[in-house]
Structure 1
Amino acid sequence: MKTVAISILGTTMDRRGKGDKRWDKWRPTVSMCQHEDLLIDRLELLFDNHSQGLANQVTEDIALVSPETEVVHHKVNFPDPWDFETVYSQLLDFARGYQFRPNRERYLTHITTGSHVAQICLYLLTEAGYLPGQLLQTSPARHNSDAPGQYQVIDLDLSRYDQIASRFQKEHQEGTVYLKGGIQTNNAPFNRMIEQLEKVSIRSNAPILITGPTGAGKTQLAQRVYELRKQRGKLEGRLVAINCATLKGENTMSALFGHKKGAFTGATADRAGLLKEAHKGLLFLDEIGELGLDEQAMLLRAIEDKRFIPFGSDHEASSDFQLIAGTNKDLAQKAREGSFRADLLARIDLWTYELPSLRDRIEDLEPNVDYELESFSNKAGHLVSFNKAAREKYLAFGRSADATWAANFRDLNASITRMATLADGGRITVEVVDEEISRLKYKWHTSGHSGEHARSAVESVLGSGRTSEMDYYDQLKLAALIDVCRRSSSMAEAGRKLFNVSRQAKKSNNDSHRVKQLLGKHGLRFEDLKC
């Protein structure tokens, strides 16, 4: 296989005087062809119209030191050798027009000559594969000026370098642990999701959509993504976060996109808006499904074009931000119902991550209990811990069917806070745990399926349109049915829980059939609730 070098003529370093004096100093292009262990079969020499004479001289000298090397001239003119865009474009045109034959020839891109801008462009073109092969770096000899100097071949396939590969792996692991808040979680699907999110957070500026039930940790995860990107130098600006459910009427447009003085009653001064405040930073829009269609349209344009019109203004504003959106609603269903723009959904769900509820990753209960205890201890300034019996009892209850964890990690945080506050001498006892278990059971029994929770549970399977047509009483019944089914491994188990009294009066029980009938009234299947 032949070795082909691609090099820019060094108008300064390759010009070392006239006559025989030119041999007294190191010349990178000539010396590249003087190494006994590096045979250059062909040199593709790039230079501009003003350097033809020097190119001819260098070609003649190479013929003297390496008769085997064929030198091919290429005219490449840089109107401004320090303008990155033009230099890159010229070198890219050369690369695209060159007929590479990687199955027959080995290519080396010489990055010692040319301006610093040209060297950077050659590096980038090699890294991107436009110039296939390896980099070649040359330098003069350290002690003997008569020697041809030194050279180093650099392979940009970083996987070949064990130390670099292990460093990348270590940084990836550190980033993953950081996104999990330092908690060594055990749920395999959750861990895989976080591992991918770490890569996306570092490598992509595209919008990220985080879904999941209320209290699953969407806001905390967005905060950690921001901090990770800030640490790695991917963001300069600040994190701007807003819950879209708190925005109503004219205030929505004003809060997001800003307004001009006098745009509406009470607009006594200009307002920049959250999008503007997030310039060069990250904008987290929680409960994005609560935005109206007009705001969605403006947001879509702001994401795609980085431009928008403040409320009451005749002139556009701009903001270069990254978006993370959060929701506990089925946006696809809302799009089908016409309450969420399908084009906006398509734009923000390139990277979608669904955070599971605490019940769905109950194997992570124990490390999260430890995390909450440590957090409380740090804030309180003194250590708080369980005694052995109390810890075992609390964890057993937390994993049982009685523990719904309706508000997910918010319930857990509140529970640990209460027990740690009541712990005399920093020790949580069985008595404290018993009191807390009673409090949680009462809380979940009396309010677990009422109000907004019941509606949210029903909307998650039927959509907001059908849910709004149901009586509040029917929503409560269906929410309870959904909850029991989700916490049961089979319809038979769900039936035994639901019909625990009436089934005793029957000679034979078909609990599965009764559950199937109840679900069928709403067009639901047990399997759908387990997804």
Structure 2
Amino acid sequence: MKRKVVIGFLGTQMDLGAGPGRWEKWRPTVALGQHEDFQADRIELLVDQRRFNNLVKTVQTDLRQLSPQTDVCVHDVYVKDPWDFELMYSALFDFSRRYPFDLEHEEYFIHITTGTHVAQICWFLLAEARFLPARLIQTSPPRDRAQGMQGSYAIIDLDLARYDQIAQRFSKASQETTEFLKSGINTQSPKFNRMIEQIERVAMRSRAPMLLMGPTGAGKSQLARNIFELKKQRQDLSGRFVEVNCATLRGDGAGSALFGHVRGAFTGAQSDRAGLLKSADGGLLFLDEIGELGLDEQAMLLRAIEDKRFPPLGGDKEVSSDFQLIAGTNRDLAVAVREGRFRDDLFARLNLWTFYLPGLKERAEDIEPNLEFELSRYARNYNEQVRFNREARQAYLRFATSADAVWPGNFRDLGASITRMATLSESGRITVDVVQEEIQRLKRHWGDQQSDTPTDTSLADLLGDAYADLDRFDAVQLAEVVRVCRASRTLSDAGRTLFQASREKKAKTNDADRLRKYLARFDLQFEQLHRLN
């Protein structure tokens, strides 16, 4: 059995007592030695000995009489103002750092009944943060004097997982939070659901920047807005949600839009402008397509993230803004760093929490629940309830999950498709005919977007004389690889799309190198395919 050690303040008021009458009074520290089912081996008593030395001797004597096996060790702790939070926390923190805890042989309890309310709060915070590896013990006076003066005690374990009802409520709250981050969509992708659970924990525990990667239309903007709404509900943010697409910022206008300017900073600057970073003070700033931001703006942004201060264009007086940053990109920023198009120090700052949002093709199991979400959104926007016929629903899902459905715009394409069918439906029912028309519409649209999809002729142009030696099997495979490469911004993006299934089974992945080696078999390079786009 481990030795029981109780740590607490001497109750300079509640532990008072002199003469035989003191035994008729409940004294919390003395009561620690009166419980047969809880016998402390040692009590560490914190007190200002210069002021309360006589009381210390009385309590020591009484505890020795009641519980001879209990050692009482006195620690002289002086706090100038016991009601000053900073002073009290510092004193107890210093005590916790000095104390020689022996967790292998002893278990520790913090007596929170004595001391000021400020001291009790500090005890709790130190125990909850594990600076004090202890449980809390609370003693209470007797309800009936006939029961004696020992009163009762309760041990409080701050590991909330030990309390079934609390654990269930936390689990339910966490589930509700993740559902909110998913916009209420009952997503089925295990990998995506795990990622949302991680984002929920990070969003609730950290204000560090987050980086959301993924193709256009994968839902980065909506997820950033949901994170903001969640943190706003928890009173973690008090300001606004400010969103800007960095691809729309060019030249002097980029710095002015982000950081503001003073009057006369450049031609046309006729008045002061606050800028988006200042507008996001106390709130959340979502910088979509951050890879498109210029290097000068990147340097200023890094300073604003780290210092919470920055000068507006043309100004010599800094302004402050305390915002949380979420950045979005469909580029591989690591590649951009190597190519000198993105600052490595800014990337390092953003890369603490990086999450990749897969496109629709990578989450085929989530197409069906997204149908219901889009139909519900249509009903809210247009005050009309629309449903699929059973055959129409099956026909649409067969196409949506097939190889013919490329979904270049991802969930944005899906939403537009559902809106079109709902609008064209009659009597609130989407029929097979409406679905077939939409499928043909999508194929034409995607065909126009991907008119450069490699055919036998274009592969022959790419490979030259080597095309004659190419097996039909290899030609079909290579055509799809070339199509994906031309539709992707970077080699890494293309690799993620092509090797998504197998990459999840590997501890380490290098999709870009794997794709580069495949293209090299045919004397092709990713950059060459983009030049021919």
TM-score between both structures, scaled by the size of structure 2: 0.84
Question: CA-to-partner distance for each residue in 1:377-431, whole Å, 9 max, x for gaps?
Answer: 1222121011112111111111222211111111111111111011111111112
Please give the alpha-carbon distance, in whole angstroms, between the structure 2 residues aligned to 1:343 and 1:165: 40
| 8 A Cα contact 1:95 1:131, kept in partner | yes
Question: CA-to-partner distance for each residue in 1:296-332, whole Å, 9 max, x for gaps?
Answer: 1111111122221222222222222111100011111
Range 159-168 or range 173-182, more displaced: 159-168
Per the TM alignment, residue 524 of structure 1 is displaced from its structure 2 partner at its CA by 9.0
Report the residue type matching 1:376 in the other structure.
Y
2:13 counterpart of 1:12? yes
Report the residue type matching 1:46 in the other structure.
L
Per the TM alignment, residue 83 of structure 1 is displaced from its structure 2 partner at its CA by 2.3
Per the TM alignment, residue 450 of structure 1 is displaced from its structure 2 partner at its CA by 6.9
Per the TM alignment, residue 366 of structure 1 is displaced from its structure 2 partner at its CA by 1.1
| 8 A Cα contact 2:282 2:321, kept in partner | yes
Per the TM alignment, residue 25 of structure 1 is displaced from its structure 2 partner at its CA by 2.6
| 8 A Cα contact 1:211 1:328, kept in partner | yes
| 8 A Cα contact 2:288 2:328, kept in partner | yes
| 8 A Cα contact 1:288 1:325, kept in partner | yes
Please give the alpha-carbon distance, in whole angstroms, between the structure 2 residues aligned to 1:235 and 1:399: 39
Please give the alpha-carbon distance, in whole angstroms, between the structure 2 residues aligned to 1:268 and 1:54: 74
| Aligned twin of 2:215 | 213
Please give the alpha-carbon distance, in whole angstroms, between the structure 2 residues aligned to 1:449 and 1:275: 41
Please give the alpha-carbon distance, in whole angstroms, between the structure 1 residues aligned to 2:157 and 2:293: 50
2:266 counterpart of 1:264? yes
Q: Give SS of 1:44's match.
A: strand
Q: 1:176 to 1:431 in 2, by over 3 A?
A: same
| Aligned twin of 2:403 | 401
Q: 1:460-475 counterparts in 2 under 5 A?
A: none
Q: Give SS of 1:100's match.
A: coil
Per the TM alignment, residue 358 of structure 1 is displaced from its structure 2 partner at its CA by 0.7
| 8 A Cα contact 1:449 1:480, kept in partner | no
| Aligned twin of 1:522 | 525
Q: 1:159-170 counterparts in 2 under 5 A?
A: 159-170=161-172
Report the residue type matching 1:326 in the other structure.
G
| Aligned twin of 1:92 | 93
Identify the match of residue 254 of structure 1 among 239, 252, 256: 256
Question: CA-to-partner distance for each residue in 1:45-100, whole Å, 9 max, x for gaps?
Answer: 10123222222222222223222222111111112222222211211211121112
Per the TM alignment, residue 482 of structure 1 is displaced from its structure 2 partner at its CA by 5.1
Identify the match of residue 332 of structure 1 among 328, 331, 334: 334
| 8 A Cα contact 2:308 2:322, kept in partner | yes
Report the residue type matching 1:408 in the other structure.
N
| Aligned twin of 1:496 | none
Please give the alpha-carbon distance, in whole angstroms, between the structure 2 residues aligned to 1:436 and 1:86: 70
Q: Give SS of 1:299's match.
A: helix
Please give the alpha-carbon distance, in whole angstroms, between the structure 1 residues aligned to 2:521 and 2:435: 37
| 8 A Cα contact 2:519 2:526, kept in partner | no
Report the residue type matching 2:88 in the other structure.
V
| Aligned twin of 2:312 | 310
Range 241-250 or range 209-218, more displaced: 241-250
Q: Which runs of 5+ in 1 are unaligned?
A: 452-475, 491-514, 526-531
Range 333-342 or range 249-258, more displaced: 249-258
Number of equivalences: 477
Per the TM alignment, residue 488 of structure 1 is displaced from its structure 2 partner at its CA by 7.9
Report the residue type matching 1:178 in the other structure.
F
Report the residue type matching 1:27 in the other structure.
R
Report the residue type matching 1:239 in the other structure.
F
| Aligned twin of 2:139 | 138
| 8 A Cα contact 2:519 2:525, kept in partner | no
Please give the alpha-carbon distance, in whole angstroms, between the structure 2 residues aligned to 1:30 and 1:21: 14
| 8 A Cα contact 2:379 2:386, kept in partner | yes
Per the TM alignment, residue 449 of structure 1 is displaced from its structure 2 partner at its CA by 5.5
Report the residue type matching 2:438 in the other structure.
E
Please give the alpha-carbon distance, in whole angstroms, between the structure 1 residues aligned to 2:369 and 2:93: 53
| Aligned twin of 1:359 | 361
Please give the alpha-carbon distance, in whole angstroms, between the structure 1 residues aligned to 2:499 and 2:261: 53
Please give the alpha-carbon distance, in whole angstroms, between the structure 1 residues aligned to 2:110 and 2:315: 53
Report the residue type matching 2:362 in the other structure.
D
Per the TM alignment, residue 518 of structure 1 is displaced from its structure 2 partner at its CA by 7.8
Q: Which runs of 5+ in 2 are unaligned?
A: 454-479, 489-493, 501-517, 529-533
| Aligned twin of 1:470 | none
Report the residue type matching 2:182 in the other structure.
K
| Aligned twin of 2:79 | 78
Q: 1:188 to 1:477 in 2, by over 3 A?
A: closer
Q: Give SS of 2:145's match.
A: coil
| 8 A Cα contact 2:40 2:70, kept in partner | yes
| Aligned twin of 2:67 | 66
| 8 A Cα contact 1:180 1:194, kept in partner | yes
Report the residue type matching 2:186 in the other structure.
Q
Per the TM alignment, residue 144 of structure 1 is displaced from its structure 2 partner at its CA by 2.1
RMSD (CA atoms): 2.6
| 8 A Cα contact 1:449 1:479, kept in partner | no
Identify the match of residue 419 of structure 1 among 418, 421, 439: 421
Please give the alpha-carbon distance, in whole angstroms, between the structure 1 residues aligned to 2:238 and 2:144: 46
Range 96-105 or range 258-267, more displaced: 258-267
Question: CA-to-partner distance for each residue in 1:125-164, whole Å, 9 max, x for gaps?
Answer: 2222222221111111123274311110111222222222
| Aligned twin of 1:494 | none
Report the residue type matching 2:157 in the other structure.
D
Per the TM alignment, residue 292 of structure 1 is displaced from its structure 2 partner at its CA by 1.0
Per the TM alignment, residue 516 of structure 1 is displaced from its structure 2 partner at its CA by 5.3
| Aligned twin of 2:471 | none
Please give the alpha-carbon distance, in whole angstroms, between the structure 1 residues aligned to 2:249 and 2:200: 31
Q: 1:31 to 1:232 in 2, by over 3 A?
A: same
Q: Give SS of 1:520's match.
A: coil
Please give the alpha-carbon distance, in whole angstroms, between the structure 2 residues aligned to 1:430 and 1:280: 50
Report the residue type matching 2:211 in the other structure.
L
Q: Give SS of 2:427's match.
A: helix
| Aligned twin of 1:29 | 29
Q: Give SS of 1:106's match.
A: strand
Report the residue type matching 2:113 in the other structure.
T
| Aligned twin of 1:127 | 128
Please give the alpha-carbon distance, in whole angstroms, between the structure 2 residues aligned to 1:480 and 1:273: 39
Per the TM alignment, residue 115 of structure 1 is displaced from its structure 2 partner at its CA by 1.3
| Aligned twin of 1:465 | none
| Aligned twin of 1:192 | 194
Q: 1:421-500 counterparts in 2 under 5 A?
A: 421-448=423-450, 478-479=482-483
TM-score between both structures, scaled by the size of structure 1: 0.84
Please give the alpha-carbon distance, in whole angstroms, between the structure 2 residues aligned to 1:295 and 1:181: 33
Report the residue type matching 2:92 in the other structure.
L
Please give the alpha-carbon distance, in whole angstroms, between the structure 1 residues aligned to 2:54 and 2:273: 64
Report the residue type matching 1:108 in the other structure.
F
Please give the alpha-carbon distance, in whole angstroms, between the structure 2 residues aligned to 1:444 and 1:518: 29
Please give the alpha-carbon distance, in whole angstroms, between the structure 1 residues aligned to 2:396 and 2:329: 31
| 8 A Cα contact 1:406 1:448, kept in partner | no
| 8 A Cα contact 1:137 1:153, kept in partner | yes
Per the TM alignment, residue 268 of structure 1 is displaced from its structure 2 partner at its CA by 3.0
Report the residue type matching 1:12 in the other structure.
Q
2:203 counterpart of 1:201? yes
Q: 1:137 to 1:520 in 2, by over 3 A?
A: farther
Q: 1:175 to 1:489 in 2, by over 3 A?
A: closer
Q: 1:271-290 counterparts in 2 under 5 A?
A: 271-290=273-292
Please give the alpha-carbon distance, in whole angstroms, between the structure 2 residues aligned to 1:285 and 1:350: 16
Question: CA-to-partner distance for each residue in 1:158-178, whole Å, 9 max, x for gaps?
Answer: 222222222222222111111
